[in-house]
Amino acid sequence: MLLEILTPDKTLYAGEVKGVQLPGTGGSFELKENHAPIVSSLTAGTVTARTAEGDKTFEITGGVVEMLANKVVVLA
């Protein structure tokens, strides 16, 4: 699935991932391939992208994530 992490300044990450772990407002959770469409708010914490070359982490201060048709967009 495709992951995009966007900030107002730049695109932090864009690429293929196997899964992504997110700091949800109600607790940490992970989105995998073929997850149902979801919109969730995020708190400050670490976003972990499970890429083919291992995990990549990004610090965010809060935001929103939307997943639709195997495309995840994180607004940090």
Partner 1 sequence: MANLKEVRIRIKSVSSTQQITKAMKLVSANKLRKAQTAIVQMRPYANKLKGIMQNLSDSIDSPELSAFFETREPKKILQVLVTSDRGLCGAFNANVGKTVRTALNGKYKAQWDAGNVHLLFIGKKGFEFFNKYKNLKLDTEYRDAFQNLNAETVFACGDRIMQQFKNKEYDVVEVVYNQFKNAATQILVTEQLLPVVKPASETKATTQNDYIFEPSKPEILLELIPRSIKTQLYKACLDSFASEHGARMVAMDKATENAGDLLNALKLSYNQARQAAITKELSEIVGGAAAMAG
Residue number, 11 or 53, with CB nearest to partner 1:
11
Distance CA 15, CA 61 (A): 21
Please give the distance of CA 74 from its chain centroid, rounded to a whole number: 5
- How many CB atoms within 10 Å of residue 8? 6
One residue of 36, 52, 53, 57 binding partner 1 per CB under 8 A = 36
One residue of 37, 52, 53, 57 binding partner 1 per CB under 8 A = 37
Q: How many CA atoms lie within 13 A of 73 on its CB side?
A: 9
Closest contact distance (angstroms) between CB of 54 and partner 1 is 26
Which positions touch partner 1 (CB under 8 A)? 4, 6-11, 24-26, 29, 36-42, 62-64, 66, 68, 73, 75
